[in-house]
Amino acid sequence: MAYIVTEPCINCKYTNCAAVCPVDAFREGPNFLTIDPIDCIDCDACVPECPVEAIFPDDEVPEEWEHYIELNDRLAEKWDEYLINETKDPLPDADDWAEKDEKFELLKEDWD
């Protein structure tokens, strides 16, 4: 099992979650964080830290976001060098984006 970051994180990236992970399982993309399923030890510490309730155990991911399970795996590999284990400023307008749905198309995979 592993924990999964889902759609509410896109364009918010508050990063509270990454600061509490005991095994540094989070990786950072331009406007989304992902969890490396190999590193995650299912401790649940990150879930209550996320202000937009974006993180779920993989067997509890809401059906409409199940594609994020494969996505976390793939992006954790792609962003392997972008380990994040501390809090940073959220993205501009994060509070506005936190209210919005249907953000998948906005996910940026490439840093440049």
Which stretches of the chain bind ligand SF4, using CB under 6 A?
Answer: 3, 5, 9, 12-17, 20-21, 23, 25, 33, 35, 40-46, 49-50, 52, 54-55
User: Least Å distance between CB 7 and ligand SF4?
Assistant: 10
Strand-pair partners of 28: 33
Minimum CB–partner distance for residue 48 and ligand SF4 (Å): 10
Which CB, 13 or 71, lies closer to ligand SF4? 13
Q: Which residues contact 52 (CB under 8 A, 6 or more apart)?
A: 8, 9, 12, 14, 98
| Distance, CA of 13 to CA of 1 (rounded, Å) | 23
Instruction: Give the pair of three-digit tokens for residue 6.
Output: 């889902």
- Joined together, the tokens standing for residue 8 give 């509410």
Smallest separation (angstroms) from ligand SF4 to the CB of 5:
5
Give whichever of 16 and 109 is closer to ligand SF4, judged by the CB atom: 16
CB of 39 closer than 8 Å to CB of 49: no
Closest CB to ligand SF4 among 43 and 63?
43
